[in-house]
Structure 1
Amino acid sequence: MYSKIVVQYREAPTDKSDWWELYEPFEETLSDGTTIKISAGYVTDFASVPWILWSFFPPIGKYNRAALVHDYLYDLQLREKELGEKQARYFADQQFLYFANKVDPKGFVRHYIMYQIVRWFGRSAWRASK
């Protein structure tokens, strides 16, 4: 059973995206068995997707869990000190794919495309979190 994601819309600092604030703590177990705890108050945009692609890759919806975990791992830069930037970012991106497949096992082709997009464009977001 999944833990519930409780968010409320929050005015974005710019007009470029929508932001959502976590109103209750959220806990999730990653693919390697590590548990992360995201505190209430954490802010996410879920998925940063250009509006032209929303019909195929919606920024909000059934992939919220995958996007929330991914955003948090990027913000935290989990394991960068131990693994280095490349491997730590790879791990975070793998978690996006893992949770997308968990939520919708039949959508693995779509998830893989989404994962590749995250891989291609995630480097700048990872470095912006520093």
Structure 2
Amino acid sequence: METTMSEIQPVTGINCPHRLLLDQIADKWSVLILAQLCEKPLRFNMLKRELEGITQKALTQSLRRLQRNGIIERRVITSSPIAVEYEITPLGRTLKEPFKALYDWTRNYLPQVEQARLAFDASNPD
């Protein structure tokens, strides 16, 4: 049986653990990091190159949050020089379908969103 949005308990309380987790996995950088790691494990610098506009600090913080939540793993590669690689965990892979649905929604409805933005901007001049 499928759960509807009206059956879901609200996660709006500031200390609600569900809200905290949602904040950590659904922020802009985490979603983009997970999209990259769904394809293959990547080293830190490759992730930074792939995610245009992310700072080293933001990438480090996002990776640590995802690692702490069990969504990704950090692996030290004992080569010369030593490298660090990040890989999505089986738990993290369970996010692939929900994130794909969200990505598909953005691709399908972007024209309507852009029209709504234009209409809003036209009726609400700065």
Q: TM-score, normalised by structure 1?
A: 0.29
Bigger radius of gyration, 1 or 2? 2
